[in-house]
């Protein structure tokens, strides 16, 4: 069933707005990818591993901020939290643009991630305020499709901006992006959480909400599986540029290939939106993970065989990774959020914080095993999706057992 409360904007505009708010994260990460070598030269004496911390600390800040923004939005309303997060994001971007040494830029990126958590978490809570069940999953799928279009263009946009202003200009682009998205929200969308539905910001209530979520077996499993999928994506983002440059000698054309893959993978989210109401969320996630188990295993074998045309096979596998995420993340969010409508903001925070922080902790060691081949990424992806597949089968058994009661 799909329910929608009164709203002065149509569904198409609503989806586009939510997609842009979600895309704050993707743009903040992917636009920086082509800048990492230049940042390494300017700030870390050419140390690429240190430069990659530009991504890691942003994710850490986002994960931490995600835990607080949901409860705050449950207590204060959705829009004030978005405004506060955007203000911190913009201020931090300005500091990152201005600073000349690496540590202050890292600190700015951490606080930028903290601010970016506001639009990301509150967008999910707003969707849950207005939709439920498979209808919510359909909306999430289309939003995720827009979300995946941003990585298609963000690296090329980052490279273009660098051509005129250097890597610092990318921080200016972050400011513009945030001003546009939050201004759109402020002008067009009313507050979706009425005062009578708000929950006081009390530690006991927050604790009770977390306990309630993790006691619910389906919610608990969906959060863990989402964490594994996000870890797969983080591992890909950390290793993809070195793999293109070192393994396949395609560093200069990286933004083009990355953008092409991200653009095509957006079709997966569209496909999910078209079939999720008929086939169901859990089934689609399970099928996607089972397929990726086979493909990741094949890629692992390929990295040992060194067949001709390996780059294009890797390109297809990278596409499959993004498609797996497109089918999985939106549906897993919907599965976890559906029983938690009464604490939507808190639920969005717990899901986002746990999946982001745990995924970053799991994925970070993967970069340490980089050996000049795509093998570490293939091993990590295979491990993550195999465990996720087993957990989805477990979720299916729980749902069937509950249906028989």
Q: How many CB atoms lie within 10 A of CB 42?
A: 18
Q: Region 2-28: what's the mean pLDDT?
A: 78
- Per-residue confidence at 201, pLDDT binned at 50, 70, 90? confident
Mean pLDDT of 268-295: 86
pLDDT confidence tier of residue 8, bands split at 50, 70 and 90: low
Query: Collapsing DSSP states into helix, strand and coil, what is residue 8?
Result: coil
Residues 6+ apart with CB under 8 A from 345: 69, 70, 71, 72, 73, 74, 78, 121, 122, 125, 193, 199
Using the predicted structure, report yes or no on whether residue 325 has a pLDDT greater than 80. Answer: yes
Residue 228 pLDDT = 96
Q: Has residue 53 got a pLDDT over 90?
A: no
What pLDDT, on a 0 to 100 scale, did the predictor assign at position 5?
Answer: 53
pLDDT of 45 reads 84
Predicted pLDDT of residue 330: 80
Q: Please tell me the predicted confidence (pLDDT) of residue 114.
A: 94
Supply the pLDDT for residue 84.
95
* pLDDT, position 333: 83
The predicted structure's pLDDT at residue 405: 61
Identity of the highest mean pLDDT range in 134-143, 154-163, 178-187: 178-187
Check whether 4 has a pLDDT greater than 70. Answer: no
Instruction: For residue 311, give the nearest of 261, 364, 267, 264 by alpha carbon.
Output: 261
Task: Quickly state the pLDDT bin for 377 (edges 50, 70, 90).
Answer: very high
From CA 62, how far away is CA 24, in angstroms rounded?
A: 11
Residue 50's H or E segment, with its range, is helix 48-51
* Statement: residue 3 has pLDDT above 50: no
Least confident of 48-52, 80-84, 223-227: 48-52
Cα separation of 313 and 355, whole Å?
Answer: 29
Helix (H) or strand (E) holding 278: helix 254-279
296 or 6, which is more confident? Answer: 296
> Is the confidence at residue 95, as pLDDT, over 70?
yes
User: Any idea which of 23-37, 77-91, 371-385 has the lowest mean pLDDT?
Assistant: 23-37
């Amino acid at each position: 069933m799909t329910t929608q409360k009164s709203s002065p904007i149509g569904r198409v505009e609503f989806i586009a707005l939510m997609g842009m708010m979600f895309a704050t994260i993707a743009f903040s990460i992917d636009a920086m990818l082509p800048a990492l070598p230049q940042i390494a030269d300017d700030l870390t004496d050419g140390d690429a591993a240190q430069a990659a911390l530009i991504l890691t600390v942003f994710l850490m800040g986002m994960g931490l901020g995600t835990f607080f923004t949901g409860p705050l939005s449950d207590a204060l309303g959705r829009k004030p939290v978005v405004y506060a997060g955007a203000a911190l994001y913009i201020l931090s971007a300005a500091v990152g643009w201005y600073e000349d040494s690496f540590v202050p830029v890292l600190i700015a990126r951490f606080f930028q991630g903290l601010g970016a958590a506001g639009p990301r978490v509150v967008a999910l809570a707003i969707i849950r305020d207005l939709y439920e069940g498979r209808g919510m999953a359909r909306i999430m799928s289309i939003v995720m499709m827009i979300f995946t279009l941003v990585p298609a263009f963000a690296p090329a946009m980052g490279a273009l901006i660098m051509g005129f202003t250097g890597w610092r200009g990318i921080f200016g682009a972050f400011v513009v992006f945030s001003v546009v998205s939050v201004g759109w929200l402020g002008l067009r969308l009313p507050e979706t959480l009425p005062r009578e539905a708000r929950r006081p910001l009390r530690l006991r209530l927050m604790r009770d909400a977390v306990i309630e979520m993790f006691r619910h077996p389906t919610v608990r499993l969906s959060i863990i599986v989402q964490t594994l999928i996000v870890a797969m994506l983080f591992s890909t983002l950390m290793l993809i540029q070195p793999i293109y440059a070192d393994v396949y000698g395609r560093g200069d054309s990286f933004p083009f290939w990355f953008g092409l893959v991200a653009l095509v993978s957006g079709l997966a989210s569209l496909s999910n939106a078209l079939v999720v109401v008929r086939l169901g969320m859990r089934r689609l996630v399970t099928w996607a993970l089972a397929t990726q188990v086979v493909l990741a295993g094949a890629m692992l074998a390929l990295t040992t065989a060194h067949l001709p045309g390996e780059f294009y096979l890797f390109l297809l596998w990278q596409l499959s990774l993004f498609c797996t995420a497109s089918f999985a993340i939106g549906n897993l969010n919907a599965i976890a959020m559906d029983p938690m409508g009464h604490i939507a903001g808190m639920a969005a925070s717990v899901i986002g914080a746990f999946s982001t922080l745990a995924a970053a902790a799991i994925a970070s060691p993967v970069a340490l095993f980089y050996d000049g081949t795509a093998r570490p990424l293939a091993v990590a992806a295979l491990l993550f999706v195999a465990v996720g597949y087993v957990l989805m089968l477990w979720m299916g058994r729980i749902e069937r057992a509950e249906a028989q009661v």
